Structure 1
Amino acid sequence: MRRPRRAGTRPRFLAIYLNDHLAGATGGVNLAKRSASSHHDAKLQELAEEIAEDRRTLLHIMHTLGVRPTRYKPFAAWLAERAGSMKTNGRLVRRSPLSGLIELEALQMGIHGKIACWRTLLALSDRVSELNPSLLRELLGRAHAQLHVVEQMHSDLAHKLSSR
């Protein structure tokens, strides 16, 4: 039996979609922070702070839309990110030179996902009055800038590794 929709609630699929992106953002924040601390890199530290801010903004958007964050999806993403940090990398004690490259590639994938989310919400903003199109365009621009930074760092590191 279907429950009637209450006024102010959003469709179930939008809630699932946003919670999936919240889970990804949770993993992305943890990965960015870990990567920044292991590289001692100011650019990565700034990027990690921006990614954390983007996650907080996503939570605010969800709240505005009346979408409750699930607890299990972000926890599962956190757990997966932690497990990923313990992967075998050809070294038992120290970080492998490949670890940084893999982390940057994972950050690229996460930022691509974030770009897709902001684009989807922007497309919905003409029908969902609670969505702020100018904020979404700003978030989209920031995500593209983040992607450019990570791609450049990835390219620099790949060249450095290939010259060893």
Structure 2
Amino acid sequence: MTTPMPGTRPQTRQVRTDLLGIYLNDHLAGSTVGAGRSLFMARSHRDPPFAEPLRQLAGEIAEDRASLLRIMRSLGVPKRRYKIAASGAVERLGRLKSNGRLYRRSPLTLVVELEFLRLGVKGKELGWRTLRALAEADGRFDEQELDGLIARAERQMNTLEELRVRAVQDVLLSG
């Protein structure tokens, strides 16, 4: 990016909607995986210190996905259904991963799932930050909404980190 000469106005830049559509659909695919995984985790973990925070997170992650869809509609970006279907299938296949146990969940599963979900929420946060950066060039973005989504993603990251550390201590420390 070049710096404008003193006394001149910077060039007006436009959002590349073709690339933005690809970008948003990729994030929609990721949010499909995150929403599915968080719901699965909320239903699977009944331990009191994990159950309620996971239910809360699953609800918020579903709301965030709905926000992304709303933003895409407002920008006229069509959903790429094949990406949504493929990402949903990948999330369900991910449940079949080897965890050292054949018939029941490994205690380590919670640690790995929390790490996976935390990575997804970080990606979501970065996506909201990207849209926030574009809001200065494109008035179709609601800056306040994006600021709220960024703040919520940060809270989700903190919650997931607290749960992850608790799970690590519960699972990997003896005694």
1:18 to 11, 18, 24: 24
Structure 2 unmatched runs, 5+: 1-14
Contact kept? 1:19, 1:73, Cα under 8 Å: yes
- 1:26-49 CA-to-partner distances (Å, cap 9, x unmatched) read 000000000111102011001000
Structure 1: segments with no counterpart, 5+ residues: 1-8
Residue 132 of structure 1 is matched in structure 2 by: 142
C-alpha distance after superposition, 1:31-69 (max 9, x if no partner): 000011110201100100000000000000000000001
Cα separation, 2, equivalents of 1:94 and 1:43:
23
Matched residue of 2:97: which SS? coil
Match in the other structure for 1:32 = 38
The within-5 A match list for 1:65-104 is 65-104=75-114
SS of residue matched to 1:92: coil
Task: Count residues with an aligned counterpart.
Answer: 156
Measure, in 1, the Cα distance between the counterparts of 2:16 and 2:140: 11
% identical equivalent positions: 44
- Residues 101-153 of structure 1: per-residue CA shift (max 9 Å, x gap): 11101100100100110000000001111100110000000000000000000
TM-score of the superposed pair, with normalisation by structure 2: 0.87
Is residue 10–residue 66 contact of structure 1 (8 Å, CA) maintained in 2?
no
RMSD over aligned Cα, in angstroms?
A: 1.1
What is the rounded CA distance, in whole Å, between the counterparts of 1:64 and 1:130 in structure 2?
A: 8
Question: CA offset at residue 10 of structure 1?
Answer: 6.1
Of 44, 53, 58, which residue of structure 1 is paired with 2:63? 53
**TM-score, scaled to structure 1:** 0.93
Structure with bigger gyration radius: 2
Structure 2 equivalent of residue 151 of structure 1: 161
Contact 1:101 1:157 in 2 (8 A): yes
